[in-house]
Chains A and B, each alone.
Chain A
Amino acid sequence: MSEELSAWQLIASGDATLFAIVRLSLAVTLSAVAIAAVIGLPLGALLALARFPGRSAVVVVLNGFMGLPPVIVGLSVYLLLSRSGPLGEFGLLFTPAAMVIAQAVLVLPIIAALTRQTIEDLWHEYREELTAMDVGPLGQVATLLWDSRFSLFTALLAGFGRAAAEVGTVMIVGGNINGFTRTMTTTVALETSKGNLPLAVGLGLILIFLIILINAAAWGVRLWSEQRAG
């Protein structure tokens, strides 16, 4: 097909617009995952080890939030950041920062919930041995995080995959502004509706490639960790 052909030409020629979009998308998603990881990993670990009334409810809600519809997250962050919203004074709406925040909110439950599950499973296994060795609470958390680092890395990749592939949140809070907040997914959506198929298909191809790369990485990490740690 001619669209596909010209899509490949676009990629091969190193088209500036195309790669600016790819670069922005990656920067936004990586930042979002980094922020979500910094909050989500300790939060998940804490939730795995802490015992308090209402804990089960928190776990259920957190698991439910893994499937939060992106447009709902987008809408919530929009309301938060809009001029009249509680964070309106910072003027973040329709900037890449807004997109980072929205994607971080989207990915946080995924990372926290997967971390909680992973750490809790390992804790059930390790509890008696660690207690017998008189390992304190901080040491316990450190040991659990370290010994499940490969699974946790996979959780981060899952978060990255979800954020990289979604359209709804970034469309709403980013505004899809040409050259400023246009990401791969929003561009694909827009250019398709405009009938500019080569750019849409080119970005689609790159997106698919990235997703496959992530899954290959997750698979490789798993294989490697099984050899290393059993």
Chain B
Amino acid sequence: MAKDMSYEALNARKNEIMKAAMQISYEDFELAGIGFNYEKMMDEVGYSIEEMRKMQLENAVGNTPLLEMRNLTALARKYAPAGKGARILVKDEACNASGSFKARRAAIAVQQAKKLGYKGVIAATSGNYGAAVAAQAAMNGLKCIVVQECYDNDKIGQPEILEKQRICEAYGAEVVQLTVGPELFTTFLGLLEETGYFNASLYTPFGIAGVETLGYELAEQCRQRYGKDPDVVVCTNAGGGNLTGTARGLIKADATKTQVVGASIDLKGLHMASNGDFNKKSCTTGHTGFAIPFVTWPDRSDCPRNAARTLRYMDRYVIVKQGEVFYITQALAVLEGYERGPAGNTSLTAAFVLAQEMNEDEIIIVQETEYTGAGKHTMPQLTFAKQNGVDVLFGDPDNEIPGKTLVFPEDPGMIKAREYDLSKAKKSYIHNCVKNYDMATASEEDINYIMDEIKESREFVLAELKGAGITI
């Protein structure tokens, strides 16, 4: 009998579809209360650093260069007090096959699919991950489908996303494109069921463990060249895998004193599922519209448990503006001779400011770049912004209103890294636990789980739970 492929029926079969498409027994890691055993999941499902490096190197991923930004460092020092201005290094992840750090995740996911005997892989993404999965599938003789949220209702697409469509097709993938909306997930479920392919989700333990090699490598490279660990590593943050994987890799390399900073672009006020707002964004990743919901509630992904959990690792979180990121992208091109995509420069923008607070003999590492090309470049993105009624001007970036203006700093000294209050994010995480699990009481196990989830003291967690009327 033909299966009911309606929207409701597909969603009702979600768990069985996911299980068949990943073969991960997530229930094995669940604890009695609200939590699950994260480390056990990462240990049992992931691979060791050595295994992953091998898998990645065999597939044109990893060993990317760590570059010193001499002119950007000199520029930062012009604005820093005497003796301040850390050395800025960038790990050129654009050198991975397919042009971004996402290749690290895709390499492991595709090897896993191959090992389990799947004929193809599917990923739901409008970003670099699509290119990464498509390229890895091509190298390994697997079929590939990429599901993209691509167009508004008039079939107008972000130039950056159109480029992702092109590159996925260039690597031989089938691209399924949709208009704006979260129902994409149901289409994705339907495709998994129809094809029997592997769910190469961004959020599986393989997907996150694949990024650990990035943190590990950069610690090794920094030690080798400068005889010490990096003082700060900045990660562009959206769904959280980039930061989580990098931080875990640093810990595995014993770089436990390195501060891990997240950076996102401010897109406050733009609704992610709004048809009208869709093409008002001038950056399609690394922004708060995606990042804040994931930071404060990671388990909203296409996996039962998300392996990307940033509050476990983030020491500090800063917000930059679109105009600032475009400015620094231009600076990277004309001062350093590296033309790299804008979104990956979110962390570089933050590092330019953070370096000014740090001592001259300290090191700050921007852990990625992404490729650039037609569509995925400041020029077409600014052209598109203007076509969509966004005013591009010079002024104080603090006055930028996402979707209405894009404000280049009048002077690079005006670029800021705005502190995002992490304790607010942590409290919001606790409130999401209460709401999403309908908590009335909290067990000892629940409390310990939350403490691990947000890297906070028992007092902090208890105060917030009690405030929400939870019986301990």
- B partners with A: no
User: Which residue numbers of A lie inside 8 Å of B, CB to CB?
Assistant: none
